[in-house]
């Protein structure tokens, strides 16, 4: 049973426009959500996170929105730049969870010039 779902394997966006990456989850015990970015031949790197007590967190061009009632979060990148082309993983951790993060399958974002 997949607890964190990223239903779009890939997304193509024109440079300068907004990129919106989506993530759904099923476990209501998740209390923290993170986005990681991964380039080929490198490990994932932390991008931005949000606590379940918030509905929005912003860091420069990156904003994460959380809709707890819908069990949905999204990552907005504005404006999109060529260096944003990467695989983005949504991840979640549970209240009191000792076993770390549960990851989605990832979305490959391609920024078109």
Q: Give contact residues for other proteins (rule: CB under 8 A).
A: 6, 9, 31-34, 36, 41-46, 49, 51, 89, 91-93, 97-106
- Whose Cβ is closer to other proteins: residue 18's or residue 29's? 29
Q: What is the dihedral of CA 84, 86, 108, 82, to 10 degrees?
A: 40
| Beta carbon of residue 24, minimum distance to other proteins (angstroms, whole number) | 14
| Beta carbon of residue 47, minimum distance to other proteins (angstroms, whole number) | 9
- Whose Cβ is closer to other proteins: residue 18's or residue 46's? 46
Residue 88 makes CB contacts below 8 A (sequence gap 6+) with 6, 21, 35, 36, 37, 38, 47, 75, 106, 107, 108, 109
- Whose Cβ is closer to other proteins: residue 5's or residue 79's? 5
The alpha helices in 1-113, defined as continuous H runs, are none
């Amino acid at each position: 049973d997949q607890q964190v779902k990223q239903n779009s394997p890939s997304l193509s966006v024109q440079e300068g426009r907004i990129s919106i990456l989506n993530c759904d989850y099923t476990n209501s015990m998740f209390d923290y959500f993170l986005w990681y970015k991964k380039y080929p031949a490198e490990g994932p790197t932390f991008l931005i996170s949000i606590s379940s007590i918030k509905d929005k967190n912003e860091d420069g061009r990156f904003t994460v929105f959380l809709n707890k009632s819908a069990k949905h979060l999204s990552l907005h990148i504005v404006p999109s730049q060529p260096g944003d082309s990467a695989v983005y993983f949504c991840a979640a951790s549970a209240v009191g969870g000792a076993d770390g993060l549960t990851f989605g399958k990832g979305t490959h974002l391609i920024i078109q010039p």
